[in-house]
Amino acid sequence: MNEFELIRRYFERPHARSDVALGIGDDAALLQLPPGHEFAITTDTMVEAVHFPAGAPARAVGFRALATNLSDLAAMGATPAWATLALTLPRADAAWLKDFAAGFFELAETFDIALIGGDVTRGPLTITIGAYGIVPEGKAIRRSGAQAGDRVFVTGALGEAATGLKIYAPESRGRDRYLYPQPRVVEGTALREYASAAIDISDGLLADIGHLVEASGVGADIQLERIPAAAGADRQMALTGGDDYELCFTIQPARVEALHAAWHDDWAPLHDIGIITKRRDLHCIAPDGTLWHAETAGYRHFQ
Ligand code: ADP
Ligand code: MG
């Protein structure tokens, strides 16, 4: 199977988007952006044995590679629309490719995303996805918009993916969560009407709140008893475990009631975990008022 057959067989799929003027097959794709909107563009690379365990199921590798990119778009409040896929493969393994494509398109179809191009090369298993979203001009949620007095919220429960990695047992909830993260796309697009700043939780809650407060030039007081730990996750895992792909965002206190009113029952649940401070550091406060010191650093590639 040559590279063109491989692309045709596994990656050329019909889609329903009318804004793709030209998709896979030419030197570049052509897209139409609706008037009054901006592109939100993100890229993530996944390397076998670095970002996922060697021998992980191919369906999960395809699903998760797209999910992490969609999570970044969600944290901007952007609606995902298109994706590109650069695939580096040690060999053209038909069974692996079929499962990989099944995982990728399962998620792509859920959110009406067209695969519009990519690349195929030979080498150690590496997946680079570009995801392209649409957001009304000026409405994207940045990391830098938090202000003193804003409430700090997270969606869902934290630390579940970390329990999956530790145990790595077949059929644990944590393992499923790690392999098939659910990007908070619907929640993220709703948040652009409410949030003052947002980030997705890929490196661990404290590390990612750290990025948000640093970008905003503020700090935060986080109430430890309010952190929504997943079943089986201890406090350390909930605070520092990565890979959950929940959203962390800030919101003006006057907007909180409207947020709760707009929030759908079947969306990831909201948890108010603290407040943004003028003081530029991060405090984790135990119920008795003492400061709790956690190892805040998330995963770092170069250290
Ligand atoms: P070029 O040599 O011009 O870069 P390629 O041979 O790499 O073209 O790709 C041919 C076409 O197939 C292009 O439109 C490219 O975007 C698309 N393509 C290549 N790899 C993939 C892939 N993994 N998934 C989807 N489309 C792909
Ligand atoms: Mg090419």
Average pLDDT per block of 10 residues along the chain, 303 residues long = 93 96 97 97 96 95 98 98 98 97 98 98 98 98 98 96 70 87 98 98 95 97 96 91 95 98 98 97 92 59 53
40's enclosing H/E stretch is strand 37-47
- Residue 170: what pLDDT? 63
- Residue 272: what pLDDT? 98
N-term to C-term CA, the chain? 41
Residue pair 119/86 in contact (Cβ under 8 Å)? The answer is yes
The amino acid occupying position 146 is A
* Å from CA of 120 to ligand 2 middle: 7
From edge to edge, which strands make up the β-sheet containing 195-200?
A: 195-200, 247-251, 151-155, 270-277, 219-223, 282-285
Mutate to test the pocket of ligand 1, among 8, 84, 120, 129 (most ligand atoms within 8 A of CB): 120
Nearest CA to ligand 1 atom 24: 118
Q: Is the CB of 165 under 6 A from ligand 1?
A: no
Q: How far apart are CA 250 and CA 259, in angstroms?
A: 11
* Å from CA of 10 to ligand 2 middle: 16
- Residue 164: what pLDDT? 81
Helix (H, G, I), strand (E, B) or coil at 192: coil
- Residue 163: what pLDDT? 87
Nearest CA to ligand 1 atom 2: 27
Residue pair 41/26 in contact (Cβ under 8 Å)? The answer is no
Q: How far apart are CA 52 and CA 86, in angstroms?
A: 17
